[in-house]
């Protein structure tokens, strides 16, 4: 598994907005996925495969799996960043690891599995070489089937 807590991971800074803070004074859990989506877009752009260009290739992605482990809360006006790294590249899917970091401390970590799909509605599609190159380098996982 890649380490999104590593200092060299792509990182996108954020500050929670007023309406994202719940009655307990912390960022409500549903907002985390939105921030991961924003960071994923920045990561792909940083790696030379901007999401805005996927339509030209006839491709899109569907989120297939999301997991998160919380370690510490993000509070109002806390500056934080979402760091992203590639964890796995399959034939029709890829996994990104992420870490919410505040002042060097990981407040939440997790991963997202994305399935590449054709925009014509025909279903899952193979990852194009350009996307594989953008997501690389990543070591293949031993004994695990790629989907």
Per-residue pLDDT reduced to its tens digit, 75-89: 999 999 999 999 999
In whole angstroms, what is the distance from residue 105 CA to residue 71 CA? Answer: 9
Residue 7: predicted pLDDT: 65
pLDDT for residue 140: 43
- What's residue 79's pLDDT? 95
More confident residue, 146 or 28: 28
Q: Above 50 in pLDDT, residue 146?
A: no
Q: Tell me the pTM.
A: 0.87
Tens digits of residue pLDDT in 103-142: 989 999 999 999 999 999 999 999 999 999 999 975 444 4
Q: Name the pairing type of β-strands 80-89 and 10-14.
A: antiparallel
The predicted pLDDT at position 9 comes to 83
The pLDDT assigned to 144 comes to 41
Residue 71: how many CB atoms within 10 A of its CB?
11
Residue 127 CB partners (closer than 8 Å, separation 6+): 89, 90, 91, 92, 93, 94, 116, 135
The continuous run of DSSP H or E covering 75 comes out as: none
């Amino acid at each position: 598994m890649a380490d999104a807590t590593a200092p060299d991971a792509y990182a996108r800074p954020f500050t929670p907005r007023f309406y994202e803070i719940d009655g307990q004074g912390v960022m409500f859990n549903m907002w985390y996925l939105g921030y991961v989506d924003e960071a994923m877009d920045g990561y792909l752009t940083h790696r030379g495969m901007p999401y805005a260009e996927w339509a030209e290739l006839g491709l899109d992605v569907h989120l297939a799996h999301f997991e998160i482990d919380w370690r510490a809360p993000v509070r109002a006006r806390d500056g934080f960043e979402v760091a992203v790294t590639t964890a796995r590249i399959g034939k029709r899917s890829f996994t990104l690891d992420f870490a919410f970091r505040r002042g060097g401390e990981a407040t939440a970590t997790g991963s997202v599995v994305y399935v590449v799909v054709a925009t014509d509605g025909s279903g899952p599609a193979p990852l194009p070489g350009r996307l594989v190159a953008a997501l690389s380098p990543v070591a293949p996982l031993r004994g695990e089937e790629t989907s």
